[in-house]
Structure 1
Amino acid sequence: MDDSTSTTRPGGIVGVLAVAGIVASLMQTLVVPLIGELPRILHTDAANASWVITITLLVGAVAVPVIGRLGDLYGKRRMMLACSVPIIAGCVTCALADSVTQMIIGRGLQGMGMGMIPLGISALRDLLPSERVGPAIALMSSSMGIGGALGMPVAAAVAEYASWRVLFWGATALSVLVAGLIWLLVPATPARTTGRLDVVGALGLGIGLVCLLLGVSKGADWGWASGTTLGLFAVALVVFVVWGWWELRAGDPLVDLRVTARRPVLLTNVASIVVGFAMYAQALIVIQILQLPEATGYGLGQSMLAAGLWTAPSGLMMMVVSPLGARLSAARGPKVTLVTGSLVMALGYGSSMALLGTTWGLLIVTCLCSIGVGLAYGAMPALIMGAVPRSETAAANSFNSLMRSIGTSVSAAVIGVVLTQMTMRLGGHTLPSESGFRTGLLIGCGVALVAAAIASAIPARRADSPAEDAVTAEPATVS
């Protein structure tokens, strides 16, 4: 631990990093209430406006693993401050935007700051006493859901009662505040490894991810069987094969695939993809049911602001459950917490079959799902850090965050296909049908059960603090 940590209260460090995580995750949902208005605001069509959301996903996916590796090489606090620069620049660019190109550039810059969350989680291992690490990781992990859930109603309220530019100026102020708090209150974290950035590996991973996620996110618009979509998937496959070959032979790989292939790490990452899918499915469905007109027979006719307020408590539930998840992980191990969280998510999805018809029912569904997500998200970093060397915690956590992002992208694509195939007509408009929503929720339930099954196969470890050094030389053999 760095000497400077002795003069800084652990609670202050955790608070600052949790706020940083909330603000970083808020950037992803900031423009959601504006989706319908973006073509008018930016004087463009809906297809071009959709890039305002897509670009943040793509840039974040490429930047997160690179920033994680840089955090291990040069210090996590330094890289968190570096992440705040493009976030602030992106917010200002969006606030001043008069065209879709400017807005896309600003949103891309915001995506570069997504690495702040896994960096913060990894820094906790360096900065806190071992007995404080577990609860702090759980809280920091839950900040991702809190920021996303609270961002919706706040953004909706601002968009409804003030200029949309106020959203981005407010985000600018929050980002500057977070950078200042990190500078003042978070001690320097020592570099945990030596070497250099694997530039070839970073470029290869970036190209592969852009092709994969672009195909997944735009496949429905371009056609899943179109030459563009299939070509992107083919390029992604070839690039990932070559990238894997390179990483296994590189002296300082961007991602140590030998460590990643250890059974605890591999299964946790696979579970992360599935949990990310399950988490995002209900978020896509519930907000639509809340806002669809009552004339459909299943829509609840809520305004944008009201729908955001109905979903906000689910984010708070993640904060409430995080210390409970930390206690469960300390007593039984993070594997049990991940299995429990996945099962609670499945329960939330299953309950939707009976609770779909009322706002209070959907509130219960979203809260149950969020409790499950909070437990699962708090357990995954603990599992990762318990199985990798201390010198690779930031890179390993960033790669795990990337797996969750892939899961949410695939979820958006799959649920989107279901809802576009199962439709009804109302007043000359084509809308997703009730059976389409129910099918999507049942898919979410099944995927959550798959996540529980994968998590149950993770090799059991004793209920150690994740701050302990993991095995550094030999793969884990506990089964």
Structure 2
Amino acid sequence: MSRTVPAPSAEDAGRRGSSHGLLLTALIVAVIAFQLGASMVTPALPEIAREFDVSASQVAGAQDLFFLVGGVAGVVLGRLSDRVGRRRILLAAMVTMCLGALIAALAPSVPVLIAGRILQGASGATFPVTYMLLRDTMSPARFGPALGIVTAINGGVGGLDGLVGGIVADTVGFRWIFGAILVVGLTAIVLLRRFLPEAAPKDGRRMDWWGAAALSAALVCVNLALSKGSAHGWSAPLPLALLLAALVLLVVFWQTEKRRTAPLIAIEHLRSRHVWPLLATTLLTLMGVFSAINFTFVLLSQDGEFGYGMSATLSSLLYLTPPAAIGLLSAPLTGWLAPRKGWLVLLRTGLGLSLLILLGTALLPDNRWLLFAAACALGVAYNGLAMTPLNALGVVVSPKDAPGAVPGISAACFGIGASVGIALVAPAAGSGTLGGIEQALWISAGFTFLALLTACVLRLPASEDGDEAQA
């Protein structure tokens, strides 16, 4: 005789909805804490240099190391969370963020400030671990919109974080920026301890530290090569030596993974159409669209000879804040559409639209209002339709035996793509001519076209929740 299982009551459904809301709130506060550490400090760099009476380049090292350490931490700690649990890693990341903020706020010298920023960068696993937690704890219908909200924060807190950072630095000093980050980080710790449930680790096997070390060292060499190449020229011995070292380390990583019984990520997964096209698409998308918005657009708008001659504040308000603010609205909408249209459809649509927008700017770069419209449109096409699926797919395509592998490596591709893109368009965009700006925009459009091609190669693995059907 069959037994009828009663449907959940409205009270039970409401209680679960409230639980998900509180968990999402805790995770949002955590990612805001990390994002503030990434974006609020940038406009304060000149004020920090004046405070310590050093050059701006010396202070810029604090920001470079923050992102470098963050990329390495995303790769290593994302995979480590499979072994020791997501909750433990995320709480440790927030504690490290707070400790780094405290040290930076009280720093008596630049070396101490840099030490604080390195500690803050060690919390770089915050975003990939949050994506995995959303996937672990929420249904597909809830996962999309929730991830869209987090993705919007990853692109900047509505475009206001950098603006507020500049205002705080100008009025009360840069130390209050780190004080604000500390307060948000402590709040995140309290909320995570209260609302983030304990969960059993996904994988009880030993961590592949050799593979993690080889891949991390390769990432460090790539980032240093980009930094030294932009400063000393790409044909200089040091950048070339660093790139060669990175290549050797990647070969070591590949050979190490082939021999490990529990690798960081198995070679067969890296070779599959589920993984390598996603990593390539992420890298190329950042090289293309990010470099255009965050470098070429800004250079064009502020140049007084061939550009628009705007101040830094006006340039930010017209060309940086709109795409971030619009992305804050469009990214959650993309997450809501994903279960209905499919992640791959939305990704390809976003990249296709981004390509068309960049082609328009390359053809008519001297029209400031066209550039403004392009920046706004990229808030939908890039920050919403493209970036949200890229973050989601890092979780969706990750192999069942290593769910923390792809999100961490994908997060590193975001940082490397942004650095490589700016480094490659900088000679053209900084040539001091409108023709150079046009060339830089064509280069960005070319990378975006390649990203669209690799996105068309990408396939989703079959899964129980129907991700393959959504492709």
User: What TM-score results when the alignment is normalised by the length of structure 2?
Assistant: 0.88
Q: CA 1:384/1:33 → structure 2, altered by over 3 Å: closer, same or farther?
A: closer
Contact 2:77–2:125 at 8 Å: present in 1 too? Answer: yes
Greater mean deviation of Cα atoms: 142-151 or 131-140: 142-151
Instruction: Select which of 344, 351, 358 maps to 2:360.
Output: 351
Q: CA 1:415/1:27 → structure 2, altered by over 3 Å: closer, same or farther?
A: farther
1:330-341 aligned at under 5 Å gives the runs 330-341=339-350
Instruction: Identify the residue that residue 435 of structure 1 maps to in structure 2.
Output: 435
Does residue 468 (structure 1) correspond to residue 439 (structure 2)? The answer is: no
Does residue 283 (structure 1) correspond to residue 291 (structure 2)? The answer is: no
Deviations 1:211-230 (A, max 9, x none): 11110122121221122111
CA distance in structure 2 between the aligned counterparts of 1:61 and 1:35, rounded to whole angstroms: 21
Letter in 2 for 1:316: A
Does residue 309 (structure 1) correspond to residue 320 (structure 2)? The answer is: no
CA distance in structure 2 between the aligned counterparts of 1:347 and 1:179, rounded to whole angstroms: 43
Instruction: Identify the residue that residue 457 of structure 2 maps to in structure 1.
Output: 457
CA distance in structure 2 between the aligned counterparts of 1:137 and 1:339, rounded to whole angstroms: 18
1:394-409 aligned at under 5 Å gives the runs 394-409=404-419
Contact 1:355–1:365 at 8 Å: present in 2 too? Answer: no
CA distance in structure 2 between the aligned counterparts of 1:328 and 1:8, rounded to whole angstroms: 22
Instruction: Identify the residue that residue 161 of structure 2 maps to in structure 1.
Output: 151
Contact 1:278–1:411 at 8 Å: present in 2 too? Answer: yes
CA distance in structure 2 between the aligned counterparts of 1:98 and 1:234, rounded to whole angstroms: 38
Cα deviation, residue 461, structure 1: 6.8
Letter in 2 for 1:212: V
1:224-243 aligned at under 5 Å gives the runs 224-243=234-253
Identity percentage of aligned residues: 26
Letter in 2 for 1:87: M
Contact 1:344–1:371 at 8 Å: present in 2 too? Answer: no
Cα deviation, residue 391, structure 1: 4.6
Instruction: Identify the residue that residue 329 of structure 1 maps to in structure 2.
Output: 338
Contact 1:8–1:187 at 8 Å: present in 2 too? Answer: no
Cα deviation, residue 446, structure 1: 2.1
Q: CA 1:273/1:38 → structure 2, altered by over 3 Å: closer, same or farther?
A: same
Q: CA 1:110/1:358 → structure 2, altered by over 3 Å: closer, same or farther?
A: farther
Contact 2:102–2:179 at 8 Å: present in 1 too? Answer: yes
Q: CA 1:204/1:353 → structure 2, altered by over 3 Å: closer, same or farther?
A: closer
CA distance in structure 2 between the aligned counterparts of 1:73 and 1:469, rounded to whole angstroms: 27
Q: CA 1:288/1:41 → structure 2, altered by over 3 Å: closer, same or farther?
A: farther
Letter in 1 for 2:156: I
CA distance in structure 1 between the aligned counterparts of 2:41 and 2:359, rounded to whole angstroms: 30
Root mean square deviation of aligned Cα:
2.6
Count of residue pairs brought into register by the alignment: 453
1:20-99 aligned at under 5 Å gives the runs 20-99=30-109
Deviations 1:421-473 (A, max 9, x none): x12xxxxxxxxx333333222222222222112111223678x8xx8398xxx
Cα deviation, residue 44, structure 1: 2.4
Instruction: Select which of 149, 154, 179 maps to 2:189.
Output: 179
Does residue 19 (structure 1) correspond to residue 16 (structure 2)? The answer is: no
Instruction: Select which of 328, 334, 340 maps to 1:319.
Output: 328
Letter in 2 for 1:395: A
Q: CA 1:460/1:166 → structure 2, altered by over 3 Å: closer, same or farther?
A: closer
Contact 1:43–1:99 at 8 Å: present in 2 too? Answer: no
CA distance in structure 2 between the aligned counterparts of 1:303 and 1:417, rounded to whole angstroms: 21
Query: Please, which runs of 5 or more residues in structure 2 have no aligned partner?
Result: 1-14
User: What TM-score results when the alignment is normalised by the length of structure 1?
Assistant: 0.87
Contact 1:277–1:447 at 8 Å: present in 2 too? Answer: yes
Instruction: Identify the residue that residue 383 of structure 1 maps to in structure 2.
Output: 393
